[in-house]
Amino acid sequence: GENVEQHPSTLSVQEGDSAVIKCTYSDSASNYFPWYKQELGKRPQLIIDIRSNVGEKKDQRIAVTLNKTAKHFSLHITETQPEDSAVYFCAASTRIQGAQKLVFGQGTRLTINP
Amino acid sequence: DGGITQSPKYLFRKEGQNVTLSCEQNLNHDAMYWYRQDPGQGLRLIYYSQIVNDFQKGDIAEGYSVSREKKESFPLTVTSAQKNPTAFYLCASSSRRVGTDTQYFGPGTRLTVL
């Protein structure tokens, strides 16, 4: 089955700097790659996603890149702000008829230092 | 994600007891999912359902059971066979329509075994 590895497990950056989180996946059939942000004790919230037919996607300060050949994808956050502090999860999935079976990475705890 | 509710928010169970976690959605989504999250770890899929009266095991289904009698509801029962049930349980839902892959999460139930 699918296996997703996420690095680093913790990341600390100065406010205003950029943060990069990387994930690799094992199943070449995976075709959907979402990123979720989770604050302490709260539900995961989708921040950006990318499908396998696209190499890069941007949404304001957040971007995701996908390299299908190497089976890795990355989250880039620019101009970081204190409210970006949270745990970030990547995931990979394959659509099985009407459902998306997501496999998550272990998470990255991002801390933005003022 | 505001259209998914879970109850209760906190649940305490004695060893040997079965407990049922509730998940309801009003997003008209066909697919629903249950995940388990342990401290400092990613989400792991327990069960998922693509449509009413149908469900499939995820990666860690042992000791859990589900039903899907209504489109809006996907309750999870944690049985006494689950040896380490203390965790944060998250329910999610998504549309069956191709191109709409986003999974929306409920607020979660924190289960503690006493």
Residues B36-46 have pLDDT tens digits of 999 888 899 99
DSSP A4-45: EEEE-SEEEEETTS-EEEEEEE--TT--EEEEEEE-TTS--E
User: Which residues of chain A carry a pLDDT beneath 50?
Assistant: none
The pLDDT value given to residue A57: 95
Question: Distance from B7 to chain A by nearest Cα, in Å?
Answer: 14
Structure letter (DSSP) for residue B9: S
- Classified as helix, coil or strand, A104 is strand
For A6, counting Cβ atoms within 10 Å of its Cβ (0-12 exposed, 13-18 middle, 19+ buried), the class is buried
Q: What percent of chain B has a predicted confidence (pLDDT) above 90?
A: 76
Query: Hey, are the CB atoms on B45 and A103 less than 8 Å from each other?
Result: yes
List chain B residues with CB under 8 Å of A1. Answer: 59
Find the chain A residues whose C-beta atoms sit closer than 8 A to any C-beta of B: 1, 4, 6, 32, 34, 42-46, 49, 51, 89, 93, 95-107
Assess whether pLDDT exceeds 60 at residue B1: no
Is A107's CB within 8 Å of B59's CB? no
**pLDDT of A87-112, one tens digit each?**
999 999 977 777 788 999 999 999 99
Reported as a single tens digit per residue, the pLDDT across B9-47 is 999 989 889 999 999 999 999 999 999 999 888 899 999
